[in-house]
Amino acid sequence: MNLLDLDFDELALTLDLSPSYRVKQLYSGLQAGLKIQEISALPLALRQELGEKYTVGVEIIEKLVSVDGSMKLLYRLDDGNIIEGVFMPHDYGSTLCVSTQVGCRMGCAFCASGIGGLVRNLTSGEMLGQVLSVNRLKGGPLERNITNLVLMGSGEPLDNYDNVVKFLRLVSSEDGINISRRNISLSTCGLTDRIRQLADDGLGVTLSISLHATTDEIRRQLMPIANKYSISEVVDAAKYYFNKTGRRIIYEYSMIKGKNIDYFDVKRLKEITKGYPSHINLIMLNPVKEKHLEGCTKSEAERFLGRLHAEKISATIRKSFGSDIMGACGQLRRSYLDSKKE
């Protein structure tokens, strides 16, 4: 059992330690990213006893540091599964990209995480463990604790709803590492019922929606989920989210040659973003070996951005990190799995 799956009260109830301040010592040790055996405030015998029964779920097994200061991480889970993450430093703090599932069942045409389908959901503690194990690198490659999170690693967060919501509560809890929910972005391919549920549950995170197309026909070619929900249904859910939370909607838009960067796309984006605050994050396509889609050039991207601005649509091109260390989504895990096959 992974102790990070438990909040403070659950930990106290489950372990029933005496004296009771031991729970506090254990909890703060865990929140500092320590393994059970390393929590020196606890007596050795207790550490051994707990260590035999419990784990902390996640261990960093590889880290690649880029010239730009970003880091790509491979984590091993208790059952041997491998997931990956990206750490990105900024002037105002730093962001960790968190995975929510091993693999993914959404099958988007450009994404490496879905190759091989969904293996399993991550637990809330396995998501928290990613953040704590990277914070632990502080003093090494990390200057200070992570301030921002994006749920943009492998997996579809809203396809693992309950665990993701528990993780959001754990990671933003005042007696934990207390990352502000305003600094957390949840990215979804657009599961509309769940977007409404997230709004109703009042989590207050920023919602990013992977749009990637302006017509249902093109979106269906890129994202199987578009067979279930039309763009207008996704936009309705986005407006619902804004109305409930007051948070502007971020649309993610990976630019793909011949698919989505036409003049008419600009016109349709104008319609899609009309009447509520939103922002478009343009993404340079990361080429994935197994996929056969082509990105656009820098100058095509800039022309598209200029046309959006001319229509007064809020948009930026997302800064790309770690191109020297396999920046593309799911690339590092795939190359790790391939190397194990040989």
Contact region with ligand SAH (CB under 6 A), list: 62-70, 186-194, 237-245, 297-305 = 186-194
Give the residues across from 183 on adjacent strands.
none
Can the peptide bond before residue 277 be classed as cis, meaning omega within 30 degrees of 0?
no
Q: Is 148 in the site for ligand SAH (CB under 6 A)?
A: no
Please, are residues 226 and 216 in contact by the beta-carbon 8 Å criterion?
Answer: yes
**By C-alpha distance, which of 97, 96, 205 is closest to 145?**
96
Q: Write each residue from 155 to 174 as x if it is in contact with ligand SAH (CB under 6 A), else as -, in one continuous string.
A: -x------------------
Q: Is 101 in the site for ligand SAH (CB under 6 A)?
A: no
Q: Count of residues binding ligand SAH (CB under 6 A)?
A: 17
Q: Is 231 in the site for ligand SAH (CB under 6 A)?
A: no
Site for ligand SAH, residues 41 to 100, rule: CB under 6 A: none
Contact region with ligand SAH (CB under 6 A), list: 24-32, 72-80, 104-112, 165-173 = 104-112
What does DSSP say about strands 82-90 and 93-97: parallel, antiparallel, or unpaired?
A: antiparallel
Give 78 or 216: the residue with its C-beta nearer to ligand SAH: 216
Give, in order, the Cα–Cα distances in Å from 89 to each of 47, 82, 281: 34, 24, 18
Distance of closest approach, residue 211 Cβ to ligand SAH, in angstroms = 8
The order of strands in the sheet holding 148-151 is: 58-65, 71-77, 82-90, 93-97, 148-151, 184-188, 206-210, 249-255, 278-284, 315-317
Known catalytic residue at 302 = no
Out of 254, 260, 273, 278, point to the residue binding ligand SAH (CB under 6 A).
Answer: 254
Give 55 or 154: the residue with its C-beta nearer to ligand SAH: 154
Out of 189, 226, 266, 326, point to the residue binding ligand SAH (CB under 6 A).
Answer: 189
Q: Is 187 in the site for ligand SAH (CB under 6 A)?
A: yes
Q: Spell out a b/e string for 239-272, using b for 16 or more CB atoms within 10 Å of the CB, else e.
A: ebbbeebebebbbbbbbbeebbbeeebbeebeeb
Known catalytic residue at 329 = yes
DSSP states along 157-199: GGGGHHHHHHHHHHHT-TTTT---GGGEEEEES--HHHHHHHH
Compute the distance between CA of residue 108 and CA of residue 220 in angstroms, rounded to an integer.
9
Give 58 or 285: the residue with its C-beta nearer to ligand SAH: 285
| Sequence-ordered strand ranges (E) for the chain | 58-65, 71-77, 82-90, 93-97, 101-103, 118-121, 148-151, 184-188, 206-210, 249-255, 278-284, 315-317
Give 56 or 98: the residue with its C-beta nearer to ligand SAH: 98
Q: Is 283 in the site for ligand SAH (CB under 6 A)?
A: yes
Contact region with ligand SAH (CB under 6 A), list: 10-18, 160-168, 185-193, 270-278 = 185-193
Reported as type and span, the H/E element at residue 21 is helix 21-31
Neighbours of 338 (CB within 10 A): 10
- Of the residues 294, 300, 329, 342, only one is catalytic, namely 329
Give 23 or 186: the residue with its C-beta nearer to ligand SAH: 186
Q: Which two tokens stand for residue 79?
A: 């059952």
Q: Is 108 in the site for ligand SAH (CB under 6 A)?
A: yes
Q: Is 261 in the site for ligand SAH (CB under 6 A)?
A: no
Give 153 or 176: the residue with its C-beta nearer to ligand SAH: 153
Distance of closest approach, residue 281 Cβ to ligand SAH, in angstroms = 8
Q: Which two tokens stand for residue 9?
A: 């009260």
Active site residues: 84, 329
- Binding residues vs ligand SAH (CB under 6 A): 108, 110-111, 152, 156, 187-189, 210, 252, 254, 283, 285-286, 288, 328-329
